[in-house]
Structures are given as C-alpha cells and as structure tokens.
C-alpha cells in the first residue's frame, strides 16, 4: 500500500497556492456545456479546507451574488480547476467559517491578515 501513496504523492499538483479559511480566492474552472468547454471564474471567501495535503483534498468557496449565497466545493487535484489565485489573505480564528452563512453586509467582512493599522504617531518631547 505504501507504493500507491507514493505514486499519488508524485502526481500531486504543485501549482496551487497554500490557501486557508478566510482567504478570498479566484478559481479558474473549465465548465462543460453540451459539447463545448469554456473557462469560468468563481471568486469568493474560503469557508473550509479539507485534507489540503492529500490527493482527495477539497476547499469550499462562498460568494453572494444578487443577494443569494452561492457555495462551490473544488477538489485540489481536479483537472477542471485550471488555476487558483489568492486575492486577499483573511484573518480568522476558526477552521470552518460556516457562521458566515447567516451574516450579511458589514457583519460578513473578514479582517485582512498582515495589515496592522497604526494610528497617528505622537511626537515625544524631551525635556532637555
């Protein structure tokens, strides 16, 4: 059985970035309609990442379009997924962000990771 695991590890895609829950990603997918294929983009917030280092790993992306929430699950190793771009890194303290389903508007915003806001700097007066 270790031979199968080694073979699957060799066939893993290396072109996908490391994504985490809370990140905003743009997924380029090939969609089959009838007898033709066309590219389609799906941009949204990553709600969950399952088994990111395994061959059967997946991630779920949610976006709100015209007031309707749409969630899609993508497999990391799927040949239909052409490219995944991370457009924004989110700062969250949960692994599964299912609570975002019940939030709308400003309440559904996620802080950006790595952007510390510093207030106005005060001058320090020295009494010399």
Q: Quick: pLDDT tens for 71-103.
A: 999 999 999 999 999 999 999 999 999 999 998
At 100 the pLDDT is 92
Could you tell me the CATH number of the domain that includes residue 81? Answer: 2.30.30.790
Under 8 Å CB-to-CB from 42, ≥6 apart: which residues?
26, 27, 29, 61, 63, 72
At 120 the pLDDT is 63
Task: Classify residue 110: in a domain, yes or no.
Answer: no
Task: Classify residue 5: in a domain, yes or no.
Answer: no
Q: Quick: pLDDT tens for 26-77.
A: 999 999 999 999 999 999 999 999 998 888 899 999 999 998 999 999 999 9
At 127 the pLDDT is 67
Q: Quick: pLDDT tens for 10-21.
A: 777 888 889 999
The number of distinct structural domains making up the chain is: 1
CB burial string 46-56: b at 16+ within 10 A, e below: bbbbeeeeebe
Q: Which pTM does this prediction carry? A: 0.79
Task: Classify residue 113: in a domain, yes or no.
Answer: no
126, pLDDT greater than 60: yes
Task: Classify residue 6: in a domain, yes or no.
Answer: no
At 12 the pLDDT is 78
């Amino acid at each position: 059985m270790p031979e199968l695991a080694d073979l699957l590890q060799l066939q893993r895609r290396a072109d996908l970035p490391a994504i985490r829950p809370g990140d905003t990603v743009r997924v380029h997918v090939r969609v089959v309609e009838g007898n033709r294929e066309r590219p389609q983009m799906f941009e949204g917030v990553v709600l969950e990442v399952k088994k990111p280092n395994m061959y059967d790993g997946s991630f779920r992306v949610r976006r709100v379009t015209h007031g309707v929430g749409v969630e899609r699950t993508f497999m990391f190793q799927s040949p239909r997924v052409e490219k995944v771009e991370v457009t924004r890194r989110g700062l969250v303290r949960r692994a599964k962000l299912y609570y975002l389903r019940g939030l709308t508007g400003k309440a559904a915003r996620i802080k950006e990771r790595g952007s510390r806001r510093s207030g106005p700097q005060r001058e320090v007066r020295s009494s010399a």
